[in-house]
Structure formats: C-alpha cells, structure tokens
Amino acid sequence: MNKKEILLVTVLGFSIILGAAADEIIFEDPNFSKDAWSNYMDVPDAEGWEFRSLDLGGLVQGVVQEVSVKGDGGLFLSASSESFVSVFRSNKTLNAIRVRNGKQFSVGQVEVDGKVDLRVGFDGAFFIYEYRNSENWVRIGKSDIVGLVSYSGGIASNSRADGMSDYRLVKRESLLGVRFGYTNTPKIPGTPWVVHDPFRPQPYQINPGTISPRNNPGTPPSDAIVLFDGSNLDAWQNNKGGDPKWVLGDGYFECRKKSGTIRTKQKFGSVQLHIEWAAPSQVKGSSQGRGNSGVFLAGLYEVQVQDNYDNLTYPDGQASSLYGFRPPRVNVTRPPGEWQSYDIIFEMPEFERGKLSKKAKITVLHNGVVTQHGVDIPGILGHKKTQPYREHGPGHIQLQDHGNPVRYRNIWVRELKPIQ
C-alpha cells in the first residue's frame, strides 16, 4: 500500500448547471411547534435553555441541519450522551465543538452579531460547521466524525426558540463529494468497481460484542504451530532472512517506523491463522495513515490491518478487507488501543502445468464476525493495481511495516492438509 492517497472531491455544482434539483428537504419546522419534535425538554436551572431533538437514524452523506438564530442557541448532532457535535452562539461568539466519549475540544470560534444562519452536518469523511450572515456560507471548521451509528439532531436555545426560526433538515447536493480513493486505477475483475474506488459503498459499522476475553489472549489448539506467544520472535525474520527489528513488549511485539516488514521463517500453504492486533490508543493520522499494517498469506494475498474506528478510507482498504479487491461485509473495528482479532481460513490456489486450475479462497472473521466468506481471490492483490496469478507454492506469512505503530500478539497457525 502506498502511503499517498487522493482526497477526491467531486464538484457537484455540475449537476446544478444541468438543472438538477439542488436540495432535498427531509424535514422542516419554521416556527418550532412542539408537536413536530420527537423529544422536547426544558433544561432545569439553566435560565430558559431547552432542547428539541429528532431521531435521524443512520446519518447519510450530505445531510445537514440549518437554523436561523437572532440571539443565543444553535444546533447539535448526537451519537450518544457523551459523543456529539454542535455549532451555537453564546454572548455573540459562534462556537463549533466536538465531544467524543465525554472529551470536548473546540473546532473553531468567530465573533458574529445580529441574525445568523447556522449549519452542521456530515460531509463524507467529516463533520462541517458553517454560518451565514450574508449571501455565502462561511466554514468555521471541520472535524472527524464521532460515530457511524444512529444519530439524533436538533436545537438548543436559551429563549424557548423565540429567537430561532426556519429549522431545516436538508440533503444538500453542494456538500456531497468528499470521498477517499482513486478513479484512475484498473477495474477489479468480476466487479463494476476499480481498485480503491471512492464511489463503492462503505461497509456499515456494528458493535462486534465480546466472545472471548479481550484483555488476555486465549490459548491455541493443541495441534497449532505457535508463531508468537508473547515471549520471543524466534519464528520470525526480516524480508532478507535476518533478525527482525520489531520491538518486543509485555506479551506483544510492535512495528515501529522503519522497522521493516517481517515474515515467518517457515513457509505455509493452506492454513487457519489466528492473529491479534491493536492500533495505538493515541490517534494520529487519518485514512490510510492511521494504524496501517497488513497480513499477507503465502506472501502475496493481503488482509488489511487498519484503524477504521471513526476513520473513513476507500472501502477496499479498510480493516479486514482483501486489499485492493473486496471491502469487509461490515466494519467491526474496536476503538483505538483495544485488541482486535482475525481468524483467517486461507486455501491456496492450484496450478496444472503452469496454468491456474483453482483460485485461492479466503474466509475472515474480524472480532468474531464474518467479514469475508469463501471469497475467490481474483489474482495478486496490491496498491492501485491488479495482477494475474503466477504459479507459486507455499510462502511466508508476512506482517507489513506501513510506517504506523501497530502491535501484534497471540499468533498461531494450523496447516490445512488434505483429509485422507
């Protein structure tokens, strides 16, 4: 995977030039009648502040809330009581804030007096915060999203909405278009998509639940070949056959910058592989530059390792994707710092007289959830390219150094030999 990526911005003014409908109004309430809102609440001992909210369900790209404000008050989008974003005015200052798991930071501030229109919404990979007191919208800032689940939206006002009007929930064509990916890459065989296609549907996110202890690794089957039990890297080497430079920690080893890709000393064919990994708890970077590594079967077929918790990227580059080919069925990535597990069943391709007779096949469970199921791999996978099969035998299991710190633990493999 190349560390460079393109942030593809589709200019949607084109559709307006052609005369297509610009906006789709999903809900509006110009005068704030209480009956129009699913939840109405006065805030006790808060000098007249109130909340009105709507259940928005799964938030879709390009949806924004808009409202006009004469005094104090504003808009919010909430994924939970401790994770939300808001743009509001207080004492003539417009504030854009983001709160994630109870931790708040400021996205931006600006001094604006008089009547002003406010807007907050989801623009592809980001939340956007904007205001308008003339003809044009001005962006206060943008931030990472706070969740990929259902949202509530609404207003907060300190005058029982007397100074607010013209609430609208709108799908705006002018906001659509922030997507990660490439359009100048080869077409993926058997699909309508190109490699790293930015317009491919994003996997939806679910909570993987808990099927085994997450803080302590389990034990391997009695017939497994243990590749890492937390004590040493004896089963591993660098790509040239020398000693690996990855750092051994308390029950794990860690890839650090310029430590290099490592591989197993032993070569494997068809296998059942169990491996656990964790991205850093301190989030740095975004898209493909965050918690990025990879597990290569037979040294050629990559299952992507990636911190995709509230971190959008092209769909075929997400955690547990078959990199450059197939996105995961769902996104079950745990928060940064938590241990993740892959259980991979890989079947080698077969060749007769130098020609492919059977494609490689793979099944992946990410945190106990099926994300790839009996998928035929179309060829050699890679960044921005596809390659046909070439005849090969068993190969090394590789763990990639992509320049991001990633930890691994509890790695074991079972060889899947033919049943007699």
Quick one: 375 and 249 in the same domain?
yes
Long-range contacts of residues 371-379, Cβ cutoff 8 Å, at least 24 apart: 371/203, 371/320, 371/328, 371/329, 371/330, 371/332, 372/303, 372/320, 372/322, 372/326, 372/328, 372/329, 373/329, 375/322, 375/326, 377/301, 377/322, 377/325, 377/349, 378/188, 378/189, 378/190, 378/325, 379/189
Q: So what's the pLDDT on residue 3? A: 37
Average the pLDDT over 55-65 and give the result: 70
Kindly report which listed range (169-183, 209-223, 315-329, 361-375) carries the lowest average pLDDT score: 169-183
Q: Please indicate whether residue 233 or residue 191 has the higher confidence score (pLDDT).
A: 233
- The tens digit of pLDDT for each residue in 97-114 reads 988 778 888 999 999 989
Bridge partners, 78 (sequence order)? 84, 152
Whether the per-residue pLDDT at 25 is higher than 90: the answer is: no
Count: domains in the chain: 2
Quick one: 152 and 195 in the same domain?
no
- The tens digit of pLDDT for each residue in 232-278 reads 999 999 989 999 999 999 999 999 888 999 999 999 999 999 999 99
CA dist 292 and 286 (Å) reads 10
Between strands 262-268 and 301-305, the pairing is: unpaired
CA dist 274 and 45 (Å) reads 55
Closest by Cα among 272, 340, 271, 270 to 308: 340
Predicted model pTM? 0.62
Domain end among 172, 196, 228:
172
Average the pLDDT over 229-233 and give the result: 93
Q: So what's the pLDDT on residue 415? A: 94
Domain end among 152, 172, 192:
172
Q: So what's the pLDDT on residue 414? A: 94
Quick one: 188 and 321 in the same domain?
yes
Contact (Cβ atoms closer than 8 angstroms) between residue 93 and residue 111: yes
Q: Please indicate whether residue 166 or residue 274 has the higher confidence score (pLDDT).
A: 274
164: in domain: yes
Q: Which residues contact 234 (CB under 8 A, 6 or more apart)?
A: none
Quick one: 190 and 155 in the same domain?
no
Quick one: 199 and 284 in the same domain?
yes
Domain containing 70 equals: 23-172
Bridge partners, 384 (sequence order)? none
